[in-house]
Chains A and B, each alone.
Chain A
Amino acid sequence: MSDHQLSDPLRFLLRALVLLALMLALWWLVLLNPLLAGLRLSAELTLRLLPGGSSVSHVTIGPDRNWTFQVPAPAAVVNQERTQQLLGAAAAGSGRIKIRSMKVEGTARYPILFTVSLPLFWAILLAAPGRPRLWRMACGTAVLAAVALLSIAVYAVRLVGGYFQLTTEGFPGFLMDSAMYLAAGVVPYLGPVLVALSLDGELRGLILAGEAAPAAASAISAAPRRRIRR
C-alpha cells in the first residue's frame, strides 16, 4: 500500500482526534450545562404533551445533576392489582389507591451521555476535507439533539417501568434493556458518524467510494510527471 493511499484516512484520523479533544473540553467545561438545561426543557415540554401531563409533568435537575421526572401515572397501570399492591393498597386495606402523577429519579450519567454525540459530530465534520459548512453543523446538531431527547424518553420510560416492575423481567424487560443499550451504548457514538455521512456528501464520497481528496488527487496525478523528468 503506497503512502498517498493511506494519507487521507490517517490525516482525517489525526485531525479528528485533535479536534475531538478540543470539542470534548469545550463540551464538558462550557456547553454541558446549557445543553442539559435545553434537554430538560424539551423533555418537560414533551411530557406535557402526554395525555393528562399538562399540569403534572416536571423535569428537574438537582445540584448533583441527577434528573427527577414527574410524570402522569397511566390509570390503566395504576389500577392493576400488582401496582395497587406495590402502592400499599392491600396493606392499608382501604380500597384502591389513586395517583395522578409519580416522581422517579435517575442518575446524571445517562443524560450527559446522550449529549456526547455532539462533540464527536463536530469533530468529524471539522476534520473532514473541504470547507466546514455551517448549515451542516446546524442541521446535524439539531438532529442529534432530537435523538438525545428520544434517548431521554427511553430513559424515563425505563425508570417509570422499573418503578412499576413492568419492564424488569421477561420479554418487556429484554426489550427495555435492548432499547437502553442502544440509547446509551450505541446511538451516542454511532449517531454522529451516520449524521455526518448523511449531511457531508464530500466525506461520504471519500469514504464509501474510496475517492482521493482533491489535494491528494492532484499529488497523485503530478507524481508520474516528476519521475519522467528524472
Chain B
Amino acid sequence: MTEERGQTEAAMEATWAPARGFLGWFTEVDHKRIGLRYIVTALCFFTLGGIEAAIMRLQLAGPERHVVGPDFYNQLFTVHGSTMMFLFAVPVMEGIAIYLVPLMVGTRNVAFPKLNAFGYFIYLFGGLFLYTMFFCGAGPDAGWFAYTPLSGPQFSPGKRIDTWSQMITYTELSALVVSVEITVTAFKQRAPGMSLNRVPLFVWSMVVTSFMIMFAMPAVMVDSGYLALDRLVATHFFNRPEGGDPIFYQHLFWFFGHPEVYIIFIPALGFISSIVTAFTKRKVFGYSVMVASLVFTGFMGFGLWVHHMFATGLPQLGQSFFTAASMMISIPTGVQIFCWIGTIWHGRLTIRTPMLYVLAFFFDFLIGGLTGVMLASVPINWQVHDTYFVVAHFHYVLIAGAVFPLFGALHFWFPKWTGRMYGEGLSRVAFWLVFIGFNLVFFPMHILGMIGMPRRVYTYQPQLGWGGLNQLATLGVLPLALGILLMFVNFALSRRRGAPAGPNPWDADTLEWSVSSPPPPYNYLHVPTVAGGHALWDAAPDQPVVVGMRTDHREVLVTKAVDAEPSHREELPSPSIWPFLVALTTGITLCGAIFYAWWFTMGTVLTAFALIGWFWPKREPLPEAS
C-alpha cells in the first residue's frame, strides 16, 4: 500500500512539477504560486499607497505647511486612492481566492490556469505603468474617480489622466479573468459530495464577488474607455456643448464604484466566517441565511450607486429610492454579524491574532456602518458632502471592513502558505498598534468633516481651528505604520524560523487543512470526497477518496454544478510562456495608445498573433493506455 502510494506520489510530482528557473517565473501556471504572487505584489502596492498617505498626513499635520506643493499633493491623493482600490484591495482578495478556492473545493488547479497567469501579468504591468508615470511626474491628479470635466481634455491636458484611464483597463482585465476562473472552478470542480449547500462560506463569498465583478467592472472599463477616447481622438461623450454629459461619467463610474465596495468587502466576510468557525470550534450559525445574505448583498450592491451623486441635483424620486436602498443594504450585513455573534456565543472561543482582527472588525466596522446609514440620508449627505466626514466613513468601512479581516486572514492562512507558524506575541503587539493607530488617524476626521474641513485640500489656514485634530490624526500614523511594519517583519522572520505548522494547526474545518503545509503542486494526491458542510469535521473515519484519475496528465475531476456528482475528467495545460507574451503585447497596446493612437491598432495585431500562439494546440505523442 505505502509502496503504491509512493509510486503515485512520484508520478504526480513529475506530472505537476512546477516550472523552474528564470524562465519558469514567466511560465508558471500553479494557482498557489500565482495566488501568492498576487498577495505579495498587492502588499507592495499597499506599502507604496501607505507611504503616500503618510506624506499627505505630514503635509496636513498643521496649517500652512509646505512638505509638498499643491500639484504634487493632487497626484499623491489620486495615486493613493487608485493604488489602494485597483492595485491593492481587489487584487489581494483575488490572490487569496486564487490560492484558496481550488483547495477548499478539493481540486488541483483553477479551471483556466493560463488565463490565471495572464491575469497576474497584466495586473503587474498596470501597476508598474502607473508608478513609472508617477515617478516621471505624470501621476494622475484628478482624484481616484477622475470626474469629468476636470479630467477631460480641456482641463487636464498632458498624459496624466491617460495614465489613469489605461491603468484601469489593465487592472480590470485582470479582475475579470479571475472572476471567470473562480466562478467556473467553484461551480464545476468541487469534490464529489460537496453539493451547493455544503460549499464553504468563503467560496460562496468569492462566487458572489466574481459575479459582481463580471457585471460591474465592464462599466468602469467602458467609462475610462470613453474618457480616453474623449481625450485621445476627440469624441464628445462628456462634452456638454457637443451633446455629451459629464454627469453620465459619474453614473457609469458609480455603477461600477459602488459594487466595487462590495467586491472588496464580501471576500472579507468570507475570511471572517472561516476564522470565526475555526476559533469557536462550532459549525457556523445560520449557514443558509448567511449565503442568502451574501447573494442579497450582491444584488443590492447594484442598486445604490446614485447615493454617491446626491449632490449633483437629482429628481426627488431618485433620491428617495437610493436612500431607501442604501439603508436596506445594512440589513444583510447586520444579519451576518448577528450570525457570527451567535456562533461565538455557542462556541468555545479561542483568542488568537486572526480572531483579534475579527473582533476589531466588529468594533470599527460598526462605526463605519453607522456613518454609512447617516450618509444615506440626503440632508446629512449634502451637509458633509466632500468633507473629511466622508473620508473617515470610507476608511472605517474599507480598512476596518476589509483590511482588518484581510490581516486576520494573512495570519490565519500563513501556516498553510509557508508551513510555519507566525510569532504570536509579536503579532499581538502589531495588532494593538494597528488598532490604536487606525482609530487615532481616522476617528478625528469625523469631527473635522463636521466642522467643515473639505477633502483634497493641500493645506488650510490656522484660524479655521482644524490644526489640533489634524495633528492628532497625523500622530496616529506612527503606531499604525509601526504595527504594519511589525506584521511584515513577523512574517519575514517566521517564514524561515517559525515553528513547523503541520497540516492543520487550527483544527479547522475546510479541505485545505487536510493537505500538508504548504500543499504539494497537485494539491490532493487523491481528490477527496465530502460528507457535510464542514468537510473535515463531518468526514467519516473511512471517508472515500477518488481513484482512477491519470497520474501522467494534469487531470482534474469535473463535477455537476449543483450536486457535485462526478461528470467527466479534463486535462489542464502545462506551464506556458504565451500568457506572459499576450500580457506583454496587451500592455504595449494600452501604453502605446496614449502616445500615438495607431499603437492601438498595431498592438491589437501583435496581440492577435500572440493569442494564436496561445491557442494553437501542442502536438502530442499518442497517449498510452494507463
Asked if A pairs with B, the answer is no
